[in-house]
Amino acid sequence: RGAVSPEAGADERQVEGALRPRSLDDFVGQERVRDQLSLVLDSARKRNRAPDHILMSGGPGLGKTTLAMIIAAELGAPLRITSGPAIERSGDLAAVLSTLQEGEVLFLDEIHRMARPAEEMLYVAMEDFRVDVVVGKGPGATAIPLDIAPFTLVGATTRAGMLPAPLRDRFGFTAHMDFYTAEELERILHRSAGLLGVPLAEDAAREIAGRSRGTPRIANRLLRRVRDYAEVRGDGIMSLDTARATLELYEVDELGLDRLDRAILDVLLNRFRGGPVGLSTLAVSVGEEAETVEVVAEPFLVRSGFLARTPRGRVATPLAWAHLGITPPPDAAF
Ligand code: ATP
């Protein structure tokens, strides 16, 4: 994984635990979502009932897991964590649902990747707090209804639009998680530096925030690398110079582009005159899987206005030519 990938590996999730905000007040940014949530939670507490089911949509590393933990903590409820890919059969889901405690918060990450039959089971559970357990096979099979404890489902997905409407409709509200502003990331970085116990200069925080692609996970990861550098090769202080040296070492440029991002732009401009070029051709040219290019690199390139996806293929924008300091040919496609 690159230094600016928004996804986390299992090891990284372990380290991340230490930097997680534990309360809504500690959670930086996402004003609207925080406001919506605090209303739902306050009202549930007042009525002494489990709140409506909550859907969170947004890219990896924006704080969905963190918010689910905060929801459970604010309700004083236990939390169960599972994910769509872990639910391959409806039996997997039945096992989870039937062992929930009253008021428990069930966090279902990547809910759009759950098996279809399980989805049907989830509809009933969400609406009626009931699971129909099928016993036997073929014509003799019977469904035995089983009451389950009232719970709150917190579903997370990268795109709410990908969910089937009947599932989407069963959530009380959808929290749309946006990318963070540079100022919000700076606040997160200062908070994290405090927890790590390593001094962070204002200008260093600004530098790291600017290269973190609007994503707290990336900001915290870059911070940990700057901390390493400061402790091993520096004077133990995360200064601007240390931050710059670290980011250069990890090949993260001033806009947060890494080596793969720049390779893609380089090939697109220098070999294909700015496109249009197909995804698979582009991927082969940079020596990567098409999926890596599409899922890891492209979203940020598109969001930053360097690349456009058109029906005829990928096209570089004028900004891409400018960023690489190349004059576009007169017939460039944009
Ligand atoms: P994924 O979908 O990949 O599981 P996620 O959206 O669930 O990602 P989290 O695991 O919640 O992301 O957050 C990643 C890291 O970023 C955590 O270490 C967390 O502490 C930090 N973080 C996320 N959002 C915030 C925030 N608003 N304030 C402070 N830290 C945050």
82 contacts 96 by C-beta, under 8 angstroms: yes
* pLDDT for 13: 83
Give the pLDDT of the chain (334 residues) as one tens digit per residue: 678 888 888 888 888 888 899 999 999 999 999 999 999 999 999 998 889 999 999 888 999 999 999 999 999 999 999 999 999 998 899 999 999 999 999 999 999 999 888 999 999 999 999 998 888 888 888 888 999 999 999 999 987 778 889 899 999 989 999 899 999 999 999 999 999 999 999 999 999 999 999 999 999 999 999 999 999 999 999 999 999 999 999 999 988 999 999 999 999 999 999 989 999 999 999 999 998 898 888 988 999 999 999 999 999 999 999 988 989 888 777 6
Question: Does the N-terminal peptide bond of residue 276 adopt cis geometry, omega within 30 degrees of 0?
Answer: yes
* pLDDT for 1: 60
138-166 exposure pattern, b = at least 16 Cβ within 10 A, e = fewer: eeeeeeeeeebeebbbbbbbbebeebeee
Distance in angstroms (rounded) separating the CA atoms of residues 290 and 274: 18
Q: Give how far Cα 138 sits from Cα of 141, 142, 143, 145, 149, Å.
A: 6, 9, 12, 18, 30
Tell me if 221 CB under 6 Å of ligand 1.
no
* pLDDT for 159: 77
As a whole number of angstroms, the longest Cα–Cα distance in the chain is 74
Q: The pTM is what? A: 0.89
- CA–centroid distance, 180 to ligand 1, in Å, is 11
Residue showing tokens 């039937």: 98
* pLDDT for 74: 93
* pLDDT for 16: 85
Distance in angstroms (rounded) separating the CA atoms of residues 55 and 53: 7
Give this complex's ipTM: 0.97
Residues marked as catalytic:
64-65, 109, 158, 217
Q: Give how far Cα 44 sits from Cα of 55, 80, 202, Å.
A: 16, 19, 40
Tell me if 220 CB under 6 Å of ligand 1.
yes
- CA–centroid distance, 23 to ligand 1, in Å, is 13
**∠ at Cα 229 (240, 192), nearest 5°?**
70
Give Cβ neighbours of residue 190 (< 8 Å, ≥ 6 apart).
200, 205
- Closest atom of ligand 1 to 7 CA is 3
Tell me if 29 CB under 6 Å of ligand 1.
yes
Q: What is the pLDDT of residues 214-260, one digit of tens each?
A: 999 999 999 999 999 999 999 999 999 999 999 999 999 988 999 99
